[in-house]
Structure 1
Amino acid sequence: MALGFFGPGEDYKLVVLVRTDLDMGKGKIAAQVGHASVECAIRAENKDRKAFTQWMNGGQKKVVLKVANMEEMVRYMNEARSRGLYTVMVTDAGRTQIAPGSSTCVGIGPAPESEIDRVTGGLKML
């Protein structure tokens, strides 16, 4: 399913929402954001090649934003999905800092910045 968001010259980005209530260390957050970014990129490459190419050729912009908890993260994920944006939820195996099965972050995109900002524009950077 191609999203069809292309506007002339619009930049594409990928956003990752990270839960702050889990108190993950910096390294753990980096790993979780990495998982979300890779999964989003693979999904775009397989399902929306034009968006993937636009994002890759534009420098693979990634923005990491914070959400307070699982409820807030799911609310933003559902809003993104309702607008036709691709999302990926990362669930941790629980081998290090957090309980097995904990959902740590959600990736959104890649998609045009304006489309993602309609959903996540009010969130603060991590």
Structure 2
Amino acid sequence: MLKWIIAAIIIVPAIEMWGIIKMGHIIGGWSTFGLILITGFAGAQLARSEGRKAFMDVQAQIQSGRPPGHAMLNGICVLIGGLLLLMPGFFTDIIGVTLLLPFTRPFYRLLMLRWLEKKLRNGSLTIRRR
């Protein structure tokens, strides 16, 4: 797991820098800078509204006595999508937007469910109480 985190810390910023430089050559430096700012602000607003909806869904399911599984996964998608949109760069913005949009979120939710199921079947998922 640690090697994946280290690889992500090195590879993701390198890809983002490459994308920013390429976009700067295509549309110009100031336009690229403006586009990065716009996607950051727009992403924050989208994450805020979708996060509010996800939180209300979790509350409604808990109050009705149902387990909030899908609603919690939606909330995790919104959280990760919002964080990705706040990072400067275009590739993380694309992934962040797809995590925030309600019609693409089921794809990520399915990936998370499969990952959780695999961890549960292997017995490698541990929950620690402090």
TM-score between both structures, scaled by the size of structure 2: 0.29
- Structure scoring higher RCO (CA < 8 A, sep ≥ 6) equals 1
Considering fraction of residues, name the structure with more strand: 1
| Structure of larger gyration radius | 2
Considering fraction of residues, name the structure with more helix: 2
